[in-house]
Structure 1
């Protein structure tokens, strides 16, 4: 990464818009409902233009961050600690908060945040679709424009090296987007958004994993009943052999939570 980064790894953790920010296994967590999160993000979209990053925390993020995965000298953990909003994406986080914090934390998953913002703001919202395989972002953008009426600020696939980060960040900046959906996989997408936040200068930047594939129709959203119960990850892992490598991480997460609970 170049010296254009503005984030100092030693800088304080980002101030949360939520008064009751929690800490779960060393990482921040904002106990907001989906509607509350959408209200916060909407305020950032319509207020004075300044960059904000959003992380949708799930068990895999916690396991990966403990494996010290990094890009250059900026780690996944640092990116999450500096995020302006950190929501509970999966039922695993809800369970861990119940076990370790004795708190009931609502879920605000990445797909629901993305689609909710586009549905709420429609033609007033300009979105940059960044990530996935070549061609996917274009289809996702077209379908999102048709479904939600949003304006497409730009598209770019996620298959570029870190040496090209500044070029892509400047492309996003020049697009004037209000919302950046970054789908480059856990750690890579969060580090990109946070490391280049001042260059990107997008009011809402969110790592969204497979959301672009869902919007494009190249991946399917889990059935409604699994989403209501918060167990859509089981449906995904069981139905896609490519995701079977996620099962050990989920088992490691459960073991980690129970170990921490025994420590008191």
Structure 2
């Protein structure tokens, strides 16, 4: 139930501006409906999807190409509770979450054997395992596989490889910033109807990273759970603090404007 002092989610289609980045107010089900339509619509046309989280907002402030990639994305969903909180603070708007893992899993569950997926990212060998598991669990077709550890000089070679695969869905998991910029810059060459920057989703599908417990995901605090247990993520905690400060400063600015 939404709080009485907040505006409930409007029908799919409204786009907010959150610290100069777009955010589409869409539920997970609306997201899956829209992406399913894009994937199988004729003629084929590429669409980029960004799952927005606090880290993306903080990192993008010093990376103009990253900002452009998010602003030009066809769909930007709220990945985590931090984005939901920021929308409440700055817009008094209730925004539903559509996290990257839930989007990817939902598309595979819905479309199964008719879905051609290209697994692009993670360390060598991980994408192959993710593809095998996805075939086993969802019956999807593997359009192609490539690790995410390649230099920018190889971008066109990899983009050409993806484009030749005729994938419906490309899972690009090369880390925030790199994956979004790659998808946006090469979208016409990649040519897949849905290109989604999905961070650690390939690792989760491969079984090399654990999905956060259901209770943390239901409450939207899975990132806090991950940071607390994984030393490699501790350096990301300051970005959360910076994000909170950015939201507070923006809220005060909007209050002064009346």
- The residue aligned with 2:40 is 46
- For 1:89 and 1:19, locate their aligned partners in 2 and report how far apart those are by CA, in whole Å: 17
1:58 aligns with 2:58: no
Instruction: Within 5 Å, give how 1:227-246 maps onto structure 2.
Output: 227-246=217-236
Does 2:17 align with 1:23? yes
Q: Aligned partners of 1:45 and 1:151: how far apart in 2? A: 14
**Separation in 1, partners of 2:136, 2:205:** 11
Q: Distance in 2 between matches of 1:67 and 1:77?
A: 9
* Partners of 1:98 and 1:36 in 2: CA distance: 20
Q: C-alpha separation between the residues in 2 aligned to 1:23 and 1:123?
A: 37
Q: TM-score, normalised by structure 1?
A: 0.91
Contact 2:13 2:25 in 1 (8 A): no
What is the aligned residue count? 243
Q: Give the aligned CA root-mean-square deviation in angstroms.
A: 1.0
Matched, 1:217 2:207: yes
Distance 2:253 2:69 in 1: 27
In the TM superposition, 1:182-193 aligns within 5 A as 182-193=172-183
Deviations 1:114-156 (A, max 9, x none): 0100100000000000000000000000001100110000000
Structure 1 position 136 matched with structure 2 position 126:
yes
Unaligned runs of 5+ in 1: 1-16
In the other structure, the counterpart of 1:34 is: 28
After TM superposition, where is structure 1 displaced by more than 4 Å over at least 4 residues in a row? Answer: none
